[in-house]
């Protein structure tokens, strides 16, 4: 490794010198490149790629040098971390908005939807409570969701982001009071 290093050392020094504004740090970086290359020689795939590999190590070491020099401010000790929003408040607001729309559905759709979505009851339990088959309960919940979606789209415009619905706006004044808390 030492003989190969000697072959490339002058060119690497020039490479580092052109990219570093601190002349005193050039030799330090060059030494760090040698140490990294020596300790990671086992990662080199073939001797033919040694020069490119050394330049990649030099480039990464230069980037590390500049990252370490970036100024940073210490955070105040009395800084309190913000509590993460669990979404409970948003779900409560949506539930208040959805409840009147669900109530407008015929009971054969509103009851299974309310049980599944607002009370979190399993579809098996809904089937038993309504005295219908499991597939019948699944079908009712699914149809109820479609009917609710149709009512929601007729009532409000929705903003959708990566997290889902981020905001909504009533389309007309008749729908507005339903979605107000």
Model pLDDT for residues 24-53, shown as the tens digit of each residue: 899 999 999 989 988 888 777 776 778 888
Q: What is the pLDDT of residue 67?
A: 87
The 10s digit of each residue's pLDDT in 131-163 is: 999 999 999 999 999 999 888 888 877 777 777
**What is the predicted pLDDT for the residue at 117?**
85
Which of the four pLDDT bands, split at 50, 70 and 90, describes residue 181?
very low
pLDDT, one tens digit per residue, over 76-93 is: 777 776 665 555 666 677
Given the structure tokens 């002349």, which residue do they identify? 23
How does 59-94 read in b/e, with b if 16+ C-beta sit within 10 Å? eebbeebeeeeeeeeeeeeeeeeeeeeeeeeeeeeb
pLDDT (tens digit, 9 = 90+) per residue, 57-71?
Answer: 999 999 999 888 877
Give the chain's domains with CATH numbers: 2-69 (1.10.1740.10), 88-179 (1.10.10.10)
Whether pLDDT at 171 is above 70: yes
Q: Give the CA radius of gyration of the chain.
A: 32
Is pLDDT of 120 > 80? yes
Q: What DSSP string runs through the chain?
A: -HHHHHHHHHHHHHHHHHH-S-HHHHHHHHHHHHHHHHHTGGG---GGGHHHHHHHHHHHHHHHHHHHHS--PPPPTT--PPPPP-SHHHHHHHHHHHHHHHHHS-HHHHHHHIIIIIS---HHHHHHHHT--HHHHHHHHHHHHHHHHHHHHHHEEEEEETTEEEEEEESSTTTGGGG--
pTM: 0.46
**CA pair distance 104, 107, nearest whole angstrom:** 9
């Amino acid at each position: 490794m030492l003989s190969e290093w000697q072959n490339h050392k002058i060119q690497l020094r020039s490479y580092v010198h052109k990219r570093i504004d601190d002349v005193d740090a050039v030799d330090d970086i060059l030494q760090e490149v040698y140490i990294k290359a020596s300790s990671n020689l086992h990662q080199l795939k073939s001797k033919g790629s040694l020069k490119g590999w050394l330049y990649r190590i030099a480039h990464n070491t230069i980037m590390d040098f500049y990252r370490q020099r970036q100024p940073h401010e210490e955070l105040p000790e009395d800084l309190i971390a913000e509590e993460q929003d669990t979404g409970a408040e948003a779900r409560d607001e949506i539930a208040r908005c959805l409840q009147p729309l669900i109530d407008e559905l015929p009971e054969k759709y509103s009851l299974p939807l309310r049980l599944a979505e607002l009370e979190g009851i399993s579809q098996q339990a809904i089937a038993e409570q309504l005295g219908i088959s499991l597939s019948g309960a699944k079908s009712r919940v699914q149809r109820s969701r479609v009917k609710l979606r149709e009512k929601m789209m007729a009532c409000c415009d929705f903003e959708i982001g990566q997290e889902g619905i981020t905001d909504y706006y009533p389309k007309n004044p008749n729908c507005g009071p339903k979605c107000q808390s």
